[in-house]
Structure 1
């Protein structure tokens, strides 16, 4: 859980990944914002629908793994789309292809990256929920049931 003081953000606003908001001080307004960039719209999913928090108190958002708060100073940051937790609205946010066909197939991060440009703070996570699910799924009590067929384990 990441506590963020909205008074410290420009215009007392913060953009958060969809479903990232947990709770906030009384008077905080939570709304949906759409990233109107063409790349995000075509890809959908992460990065297209975001939450906007507005207010002057503390807000709490969730993240997984290690969380890094990074200040960008007229810089560009390209990162896995699921690793962006929140960012200040002074940053330009877009989704772009990860590069050439080789890096998309063999890079291990998928086909698209989030690109943040400008000056402002961004909060990053090392373990997005989809990666957490992939990591623990083989150890769940239903792991073997997913691999079985109509014939049961006869073919294995």
Structure 2
């Protein structure tokens, strides 16, 4: 399975070239195009992506599996402007923020890690996926992606809204920034403190921060109807 990422870092586009019999699994809505020699199968998921959101908010989720019958290309793109990073797993495990999962080898085991998801469930809407096995994994970001090597640090603190993925070898704890008053006045919410070894991948922009900036500027229904 070959791949190429173009138009990076702001509007990255992933092209996966499949030989006959190879398959790639992607989040619904991520496909841009595919060759005629590639079949698509859509399945509803239970414990896969966004299962917690589905349980809490009534959302449904489907995944698409693209299998090459004759060989061909499939193109994917994330919903937000940003970059795409390729992680090659060789019996390893990484945790991915659910919104950053784009696509991966169909043989990868992708499931919600409920322990981690409960830890992050604090109003910032960050749910973790546990991805394990052998094969390529593609994660996306809002903004640019930066890899941080924990081996060079005693600890590393990052806002949860900027977490893309991290290796299983990294230990983490989630806490609020200061007390309740400082949380409300600083504009910050939850942070994740990483220790141990491995790599943490960050995104340079936060969806939550963007929504916090955008929503107050949207016209209300009453003001829209009066104009």
Same fold (TM over 0.5): yes
What does residue 184 of structure 2 align with?
Answer: 105
- Say whether 1:55 aligns with 2:133: yes
Judging changes above 3 Å, is the alpha-carbon distance between structure 1 residues 36 and 128 closer, same or farther for their aligned structure 2 residues? closer
Partner of residue 92, structure 2 = 12
Aligned 8 A contact 1:17 1:50 in 2? yes
Distance 1:65 1:98, change over 3 A: same
For structure 2, the residue ranges without an aligned partner over 5 or more in a row are 1-83
CA deviations over 1:38-67 (Å, ceiling 9, x no partner): 8x26726545x4101112221001111121
> In the TM superposition, what is the alpha-carbon distance from 1:30 to its structure 2 partner?
0.8
User: Distance in 1 between the 2:122 and 2:212 partners?
Assistant: 21
Bigger relative contact order, structure 1 or 2 (CA pairs below 8 A, ≥6 apart) = 1
Name the count of aligned residue pairs: 143
Gaps of 5+ in 1: none
Give the TM-score normalised by structure 1: 0.75
- Which residue of 1 is the match for residue 110 of structure 2? 30
Q: Which moves more between the two structures, 130-139 or 114-123? A: 130-139
TM-score, L = length of structure 2: 0.54
Q: Supply the RMSD in Å over aligned alpha carbons.
A: 2.9
Q: Which one has a larger percent strand, Structure 1 or Structure 2?
A: 2
Change (3 A) 1:36 1:21: closer
Q: Please say if residues 69 and 124 of structure 1, whose CA atoms lie closer than 8 Å, have aligned partners that are also in contact.
A: yes
- Structure 2 distance, partners of 1:42, 1:90, is 21
Provide Cα deviations, 1:117-155, integer angstroms capped at 9, x if missing partner: 21110000121223334455678xxx33xx24289337x
Counterpart secondary structure, 1:27: coil
Please name the residue that 1:82 is paired with. Answer: 161
Aligned equivalents of 2:101, 2:224: Cα separation in 1: 44
What whole-Å deviation, never above 9, does each CA across 1:64-117 have from its counterpart, x for those lacking one? 11211000026211111111100001111221021134532332222x211212
8 Å Cα contact 2:162/2:202 also seen in 1? yes
